[in-house]
Structure 1
Amino acid sequence: MKPFLSFATLLLFISSSVMAQTTKNDIKNQFKNKSLTEVKEYLERQNKEIEKLIRLSSTSLKITPGDVDLKEVKTTEKFDNSPKEQIIKQFNKTLDRLYFSPQVVYPNTDLNINYSAGSLVYSAKDYDDYKFPEPVLKLKKVYFQDGKTSNFDKEIHGRNDKTTDEIKGTKWIDSIELEASYHYPEAMPVITLSPEKPLQQFTDGKIQLISVNDGKANLKVSPAVKEKIMKVEGINSAGKSIEQYGSSSSSNSSNFSVEFLAQYYEAGKSVIEKIDKSAYKDVDELTEDLYSKIPKEDKNKPENLVNATYNFRGNITQINVFLKPEQSAINNYRFVLQNSIKYPDGFGVAYNKNELAGILDKDGKWIVQPVHDRLSHYKGNYFMGEVADDGYRTVLWLDKANRKLVPFNYRFYRDESIFDKYYAIEDGINGPKGLIDIKTNKVLIEPTLNNIVVKGNYIVLRDHNETNTIINKDLKKVLTVEGYNYKINDDFIFISKPYTSKEKFADYSVLSNIDDIYNAEGKKINKEDYVIETFDFFGIDSLLLVKNKLGKKLFINTKGDVVIDGSKYKDVRPFSSGLAPVKNAEGNWGYINSKNVLVIPFMYNEAKNFSKISAMVQTNKGYQLIDHNNNVIKKFDDGFRSYSVKKDADNLTYYNYNGNTYNSQGEIHKGDR
């Protein structure tokens, strides 16, 4: 396209080489059949467009980030230019987290998988920059609850409004095997640029480091190369990668130099002035004059490069430029998803083509016909139906024998079952409480109570007078307790009461509370009055630390017999995970086992309770974790502000003054750093 053929050619940045090739015939053809007046109007319009181009050629388009305080240097991990393993790991991790909740729309089943290709792509950082084809997910096998399987090779779309992942049949599905196919990049080229090696040439352009100072790297890059840049990494003098916080770019707005455009403008202006003076006898003469005045070559033509600046949180000495990989490979990943829907005794909600719900059995046959506008499984043999007048959904019980749903006249007090045998119910919202049998829907305890709660191996029934009736798993009464001065652990009930004897209890100068201990038969097992450690109970060692009225600390067993006399030690603490801390007359701590054998010698300034792994102890040199054989697991330079004391714990937690939180292995908790 020649420069005089259209005003738009100038604004579309036609190349100066084409303008330089303009011939007199081009101009003659453009002015053909035009009068001198018409040519003048044409040249005036063209000069206005050239003026616009001159202004544009004197500016550039730029986006610039703000400055950063170079004193706050921030390093980061070096960029991995071979991210295959990272992408595969992240994709597979995301795929393993998928779930499916199949919905039967008779006579077929919608798998209803929570999958989308977009979410998978988003899960791997910068993956969408590669512009790879979308991942493909295929259903390969279905495992049914009756033990049978079916093979498939069917593409799955997941959360897609236009596609339903449907398979034939209504049998309940246990799990599905899927195969995901996705691209990953081969290792990407990396170009290192520094003041000593500032230039890299390519077949389609170049990249040149102009300067690197004040945390900024200034580059000139060919547009084709700029499109290939994946990441620019700044490296400091110590070889560390410095965190990038922004970038800017600018480009020339014209492929012509201002001088070249100005010559075109002056040529047109001169011809216009001569037309006004009637200096031309005809258009041919004008053409000869104009052609003699226009420039034939743009000697100062700007190089078509992008100016790019990358800012870093610290001074850098070189940069690594990572280019997008030109090749990719495909990874195929097979995995299995478990059905997230539970089918109590093989029954589940299904729909017909009219979107009405019923219940199917494990063979895919209707046990309750699809006549409900709304139906969903609640728990056990209970289902949720339509919304009632009170604004809550109705509760229905599945009567399997008569193949029907029966309205449930109560509300559930709590969702969780009690010992997998009962449900707590209430008569109306916040009404009186009772118990029903899970299997039969029969009311076992009428709803007349103020509260029902599970503690240890018991159910506690509280009436409106705050009298607690403690019953066992078979609903047999064990004990009645007034008020709140009791606690339960497993089979044992501890009842606290005031010590009313005139005799002073140990070294207390005022009356003290004591605890009576009752077993599963409701029998009191303590043979004298005791004070019990607040958080102690019969643990895996079946030993409980108590103090009698003489001030002696004793360990009793579950029959109430004293098996260890702790008064022989200066101090003792409860058993935990097989060992109890004991203190000798010299003030040193060690540990005894349940047979009262000293298994860890008196050598510590302080000794805490054991978990299944370790215990925290203190020496003259500081704190350390030891195992059950007194081997040191970890030593600490700083002390601890607090720690957990849970009995028989798998793991304990220790809060150090250095700000870290440690577990029983001496490891820092995730998230603390």
Structure 2
Amino acid sequence: MSKMLFHSLLKCILLSLSLLCSAHLLAQERAITPEMEAELREEFKKHSFPEIKKMLREQSDSLKKHQEFGSIRISAGSITNQQTEHVDKFIPLSETEINSKYHEYLNGLSFYQSISGDLSTIQTNYNSYHLSQLIENYDDYNYPKHKLNVTGVTFIDGSTATISSGNTEGNGNLNSAKRIASLSMTASYTLPLQPKQLHFSHGDKSIQEQIELVQMSGQEVELKLPESVHKNILHVEGIDNSGRALKPLGSSSYSNDNYYIGLLQTFTEQALQQIENHQVKDKEALLQFFINNYPSQEQAHKTHPPSFIATYQFQGEVSAINLFMRPESKTETYSFQLTQSNQRYFNDLISAQDKTGKKYGLISELGEWIISPRYNRLEYAVGDYYYATEAHKDVNNTSVYRLNRNEKRLELQPFSFTQYEPKPLQNKYVYITKENDRSRLQGLLNIQTHQIILPVKYNDIEISDNFYGAYNINNKKSDRNYEIYNSHNLQLILKGTFDIVTFDGSNIITRYTTRTIEPLKGNTPYYAIENDKYYLYQHYDIYDVNGKKLNDNHYYQLDSFSGFGKDGLMPVTDANGKRYYINRSGKNAGLNVSKYEVIYPFSNGLAAVKGIKNEYGYIDTSGKLVIPLIYRSAEMFQGGSAKVENGNVTLLIDRKNQVVHTFNDSVYTYTNRQDGDKATYTQNNGVTYDEKGQELVKKEGE
């Protein structure tokens, strides 16, 4: 035996019993087993007798030092300069609480069914880690892993089946391709019973459950107990003299086997004495001395079990501890149904694989192949349309196909979609484009009738209830060439060059800009200067649902953020600077508003107006001033109130000019929606109020 190995042999006996000799020592009452004897003989052959004697002397000194070390109390160090910190008292887990949280989690699970040929694979989003994390301190109990099993399947047609194979993670396999409506599940997990609680106060000399309080000093507590009992401790809670729980800072523990180490040291000294007295004169005699006299650890532990010391520290001076022992437990079984599926069936069909997992087709909810699996890729797009890749093409080379269900086939389409997941407008329109068209021109498809409403030739398309507006951009002039269609009969009703077109119910509002070198004749003060050379005049026109122009002369100002609204009235300014309201027929509504310097859009039946003295009030749809000109500013009525400023005070008033709310700080942002039924107003201090003046509490994460 080498010097290192020889020393390791003795040290493993003394310290850890986990190396070469430990298995033999623990398994047999006899200290030196036949296996060890054979090993020692081989090692003794490698060393001279004087070398072995020297090793024994070194080992004796080492054992003596280890005995001295074992008598020293080990402390984790001083922490007296830390301030006292309290925590909530330890509350053992409640069986009812665990069941409630687990049931809520389990009932909220969902499942996914993937189909290959006539087989299905079932997966749930169950995660045993998530389940254990629901309950604080649950992992401290070291219970077996939770189990979740699929016990039955119910299909969309009401028939049932059992899985052919599965695991305890909520997954399984099934010999059917029918759509699964629900899963019958059984979960099993371990519940703790009530733990036993022990209490030790300062100076307590009692021994409870083989646990002895060695000392309680300052922020530290030291316990003496068998190692097996230490493993059964669930929680140690430090209590100060006020009865409050202290924050734990950590713990340490060590085993003290000084009695057996003493036996080993005595044995080593005896062996050396035998050599000195020439009673042992050679290696064979020394080997026999080892075999006959080596002390048995098992026998020593029967009479003198090793002591185990555990130390606990807290952030504050400890006057008592509550010690909770690991309780008995029971296995709980919970059966439930999962009905929430992550499956995406469209048109009662889903993309599925063949048995090889290489080709895709469409299968019905009842497990019937409507489109046989012959595509390298097959994914749902929108309506009756799918993305597919033919078998002879690269998987990324997809085209758009339309499902012909009657003939059970997919028909190639002459277009692609502008978005990979098209979102239908008005539940029936999607934008289309040509495949591999870098210019990205657009057209419009009705996915319900499969009719291409507008061909693929426009830069952009806008849709409303009554109109389709399509245009191409003239980059040189920064304007747009529009074609506007009546959405009901698909007739082209208006064509022209405009800066912008707005659809407002049954009306079309257009704006275009005239550039001139000289000012236009007449009283037309509304213009801009471009490059110190051109006069720019913006002209507004109003059209009806058939594209008929309703105004004889251009308007020069319209409100940018509103239209006719539900009151059917819109403020305009003509070329002469005259302001008035028109109705949807394009006629002057006849409201007497000439005395006001500025008129604003109607919202919920009232419109703000500005007098010649820069004071604001409100008129109704007849033109009557119903809220006097007393405010410094006035906004739209939303949800029954409007924001106004009276001097330096910001208010919300109702339609009768009664104060709804007074803001206690400046309002820096707010909604301003024509005919809005709700509103929000946020102050500089971050507090937000609604249209009733009630404070809105932010939800967590906002």
TM-score where L is the length of structure 2? 0.68
State how far apart, in whole Å, the 2-side matches of 1:413 and 1:285 are.
Answer: 92
Alpha-carbon distance in 2 for matches of 1:656, 1:194: 57
Residue aligning to 1:638: 665
Aligned amino acid, residue 250 of structure 1: S
Do the aligned partners of 1:102 and 1:110 also contact (CA within 8 Å) in 2? Answer: yes
* Separation (CA, whole Å) in 2 of partners of 1:186 and 1:491: 70
Correspondence list, 1:388-407, <5 A: 388=393, 391-407=396-412
CA distance in 2, matches of 1:221, 1:541: 86
Contact 1:185 1:325 in 2 (8 A): no
Partner of 2:509: 494
Identify which range, 371-380 or 649-658, moves more after superposition: 649-658
Higher-Rg member (1/2): 2
Q: 1:576 to 1:26 in 2, by over 3 A?
A: same
Cα deviation code 1:502-536 (max 9, x no counterpart): 34357989876353233332234457625222211
Q: CA deviation at 1:226?
A: 6.7
Distance in 2 separating the partners of 1:591 and 1:209? 83
Query: Where do 1:76-155 residues align within 5 Å?
Result: 91=102, 94-95=105-106, 98-122=109-133, 126-130=137-141, 131=143, 133-136=145-148, 138=150, 142=154, 144=156, 148-151=157-160
Whole-angstrom CA distance in 2 between matches of 1:571 and 1:236: 75
Work out whether 1:559 is the aligned partner of 2:585.
Answer: yes
Q: Residue 523 in 1 paired to residue 523 in 2?
A: no
Residue of structure 1 aligned with 2:312, choices 308, 315, 320: 308
Comparing 622-631 and 436-445, the one that deviates more: 622-631
The question of whether the paired residues in 2 share the 8 Å contact of 1:113 and 1:158 is answered with no
Partner of 1:11: 15
Instruction: Give the distance between the partners of 1:520 and 1:338, measured in 2 at CA.
Output: 46
CA distance in 2, matches of 1:479, 1:618: 44
* Equivalent pair of 1:101/1:341 in contact (CA under 8 Å): no
TM-score normalised by structure 1 residue count: 0.70
Deviations 1:145-170 (A, max 9, x none): xxx4235676996996x953426353
Out of 504, 513, 533, the position equivalent to 2:523 is: 504
C-alpha displacement of 1:50: 2.6
250, 253, 276: which one aligns with 2:252: 250
Q: Classify the secondary structure of the residue corresponding to 2:495.
A: strand
Bigger mean CA offset, 470-479 vs 277-286: 277-286
Distance 1:9 1:379, change over 3 A: same
**In structure 2, distance between residues paired with 1:78 and 1:564:** 74
Q: Distance in 2 between matches of 1:456 and 1:621?
A: 44
Q: Kindly provide the amino acid, as one letter, of the partner of residue 667 in structure 2.
A: F
Q: CA deviation at 1:320?
A: 8.0
d(CA) in 1 for partners of 2:700, 2:416? 41
Give the Cα separation in 2 of the matches to 1:631 and 1:234.
60
Q: Is the 8 A contact 2:255 2:306 kept in 1?
A: no
In the TM superposition, what are the counterparts of 1:213-252 in structure 2 within 5 Å?
A: 224=229, 228-229=233-234, 247-252=249-254
| Whole-angstrom CA distance in 2 between matches of 1:306 and 1:290 | 31
Distance apart, 1:85 and its partner CA: 7.4
Q: Distance in 2 between matches of 1:435 and 1:238?
A: 75
The one-letter amino acid of 1:164's match is G
Give the distance between the partners of 1:656 and 1:198, measured in 2 at CA. Answer: 61
Q: 1:80 to 1:198 in 2, by over 3 A?
A: same
Q: Do the aligned partners of 1:660 and 1:672 also contact (CA within 8 Å) in 2? A: no
Q: Which letter maps to 1:518?
A: Y
SS in 2 for 1:340: coil
Q: 1:45 Cα shift?
A: 7.9
Q: What CA distance in whole angstroms lies between the structure 1 residues aligned with 2:665 and 2:633?
A: 15
2:563 to 526, 537, 548: 537
Matched, 1:655 2:667: no
CA RMSD of aligned residues (A): 5.9
User: Do the aligned partners of 2:109 and 2:338 also contact (CA within 8 Å) in 1?
Assistant: no
2:172 pairs with 1:164: yes
- Is it true that 1:425 corresponds to 2:450 in the alignment? no
Residue 353 of structure 2 is matched in structure 1 by: 351
* Partner Cα distance (1:198, 1:563) in 2: 98
After alignment, is 481-490 or 392-401 more displaced? Answer: 481-490
User: Once the 2 structures are TM-superposed, how far is the Cα of residue 467 of structure 1 from its aligned partner?
Assistant: 1.0
List runs of 5+ in structure 1 lacking aligned partners.
15-24
Structure 2: 5+ residue stretches without partners: 1-8, 19-28, 475-479, 530-535
Residue type of the alignment partner of 2:351: V
Instruction: Give secondary structure in 2 for the equivalent of 1:562.
Output: coil
Query: What are the superposed Cα offsets for residues 294-337 of structure 1, whole Å, 9 maximum, x if unpaired?
Result: xx99x99996232233569xx99999877766446665554531
Contact 1:62–1:248 at 8 Å: present in 2 too?
no
Offset, 1:365? 3.2
Q: What is the one-letter code of the residue matched to 2:491?
A: K
Aligned partner of 1:22 in structure 2 is none
Cα 1:205–1:235 change in 2 (3 A) is: closer
